[in-house]
Amino acid sequence: MFGQWPDAIARRGIVITSLNDQIPFNGFMTSEHFVVFSRNAPDALGARTVMLPYEMLASIKMTDIVKSTAYQAAGFRGELGRQ
């Protein structure tokens, strides 16, 4: 998903890690093995960016309303409920 993020979806949301950490992000960069997330505000330890290997990503929560067509551009099929 991060490597083919559609232009119609804002580059922000919440990523959940395999350790059950919830990381809100407002931007990201990708490499072959890692994603670097930018945060609006620092976490409890003062960190504003988080670098994670893809294997640690469990799920992504979207904080904006996203239309089905934007997900379809990322390769998803079908329709979401009313928007």
Q: What are phi and psi of 73, to 5 degrees?
A: -65, -20
The number of distinct structural domains making up the chain is 1
**CATH of residue 43:** 2.30.30
- Residue 23 sits in which domain range? 2-73
Q: pLDDT, tens digit, for every residue of 16-42?
A: 999 999 999 999 999 999 999 999 899
Q: What are phi and psi of 35, to 5 degrees?
A: -125, 135
Q: For residue 29, is it within any domain? A: yes
Amino acid at 27: G
pTM passes above 0.95: no
Distance between CA atoms of residues 80 and 37, nearest Å: 27
